[in-house]
Amino acid sequence: MNEKINNYVDKKIDDIKKINYINLEQFVRYNVKKGLRNSDGSGVLVGLTEIGEVHGYVLYEGERKEDEGRLIYRGIDVVDLVKGFQQESRFGFEEVCYLLLFGELPSKVQLDEFVEVLSELRNLPEGFTEDMILKAPSSDIMNKLARSVLVLYSYDENPDSVDAKNLLRQSIELIAKFPTMVAYGYQAKSHYYGGKSLYIHNPRPDLSTAENILHLIRPDNKYTKTEAEILDLALVLHAEHGGGNNSTFAARVVSSTETDTYSAIAAAVGSLKGPKHGGANIKAMNMLQNIKENVSDWNDEEEIRNYLTKIMDKQAFDKAGLIYGLGHAVYTLSDPRTTLLKEKAHQLAIEKGREKEFLFYETVERIGPEVFCKKKGTSKNICANVDFYSGFVYDALGIPAELFTPLFAVARIVGWCAHRIEEVISNQKIIRPAYKSISKAKEYIPINQR
């Protein structure tokens, strides 16, 4: 950093912190829902959608009662979707894309047609890989993905129209191209910032999205059936999570201005990049790695409990006082995504010779809520969220940490697009909430009198 600006910022930073801090009492005084959260942590109701439902509560005699978590895609429980895919031994992400976009399950003919369209669109425009990705590499793949999305605007002959037909066409193209942009962004980063050999493989039209990802990021293109199946499951579980999650809400807010699709989706990518959202799985995995390194016996529950207490006391790991991967704004008794992913994670752990590590994860999952409740003096139910096991799954697949959040984006792009289409067609009003100013009135003083 330039020394002059560095010194200037050091001189002013305390003032900046002081004038930008608003005491919590002010939020209570004006009944402002901080973070658009109710007092119980649930989200403030700000919209309606038919795309996805995140269920964790039921109303009983006018009061909210905790319920087992459920995730619903267009009226169909994701558990039923996953069980159907597994029973029929086939990949499910493409079918989920069809369901979220078109509102119904496809027939085999309809699904084959949709998959064929996606396959034909996976390649990037001519010159895009060389000019946009290889000539301007980024140390962060999410940053590269956002830039790539914005540049696609220049390759679109009709980028600005918000006509439904145009929105659908752009959405399908983005769903198809996201895996390729992420894979190439990773290869460029590994080469230019990691000193590794550069591998640029072409997508294969005969492979599913999950298979193509493994094919594109691995030098030898090889993967096992179990690896592809569990990555497909992760994509299915991350494809949609209601309109209130931060990145989808960002996409809806930006879409409500009737700006172009690329600007709206780039905003969603920027939101997902944050460690409190899409980057949370890396935090959870790093925390669990830290526990493994500082607990001598992974079977000693008391030693694990003591170290988790140190984490909550801000004496260990990142000293933030948080047990990452536990707790959710809606789910309290269970997160259905965690339940489904955990089953496959155990199977993968056995295949990879990491069952001892998986059992350690299970122990932390069980003990963590006890430590949290004791420390906070509460009987509140908290459960492991999907971030708790997703990092383990990706790591067991040999996928580097810098790809965790980009893979989240590869899945969630379909949810973003479905919500963008619904926002533009259904709401037709710019999202414009209110902020109350609590600043005190001041008089202007001439500069020579200050």
By the 10 Å C-beta count (0-12 exposed, 13-18 middle, 19+ buried), 437 is classed as exposed
pLDDT in tens, 51-91: 999 999 887 777 888 999 999 999 999 999 999 999 999 99
* Strand bridging mode 76-77 / 63-73: antiparallel
Please check whether residue 233 is in contact with residue 341, taking contact to mean a CB–CB distance below 8 angstroms: yes
Can you give the pLDDT at residue 165? 98
pLDDT in tens, 392-418: 999 999 999 999 999 999 999 999 999
Can you give the pLDDT at residue 35? 93
| % of the chain beyond a pLDDT of 70 | 100
Instruction: State the average pLDDT for the chain.
Output: 95
Question: Using 50, 70 and 90 to split pLDDT, how confident is the model at 329?
Answer: confident
DSSP state of 67: E
DSSP sequence for 4-66: HHHHHHHHHHHHHHHHT---HHHHHHTT--GGGB-TTSPBPP----SSEEEEEEEEETTEEEE
Answer whether residue 1 shows pLDDT above 70: no
| Alpha carbons 211 and 91: distance in angstroms, whole number | 9
pLDDT in tens, 225-234: 989 999 999 9
Can you give the pLDDT at residue 41? 79
**What are the chain's domains?**
93-276+401-427 (1.10.580.10), 280-396 (1.10.230.10)
pLDDT in tens, 138-179: 999 999 999 999 999 999 999 999 999 999 999 999 999 999
Give the catalytic positions in this structure: 328, 387
Answer whether residue 128 shows pLDDT above 90: yes
Please check whether residue 290 is in contact with residue 273, taking contact to mean a CB–CB distance below 8 angstroms: no
What is the distance in angstroms between the CA of the first residue and the CA of the last residue of the chain? 32
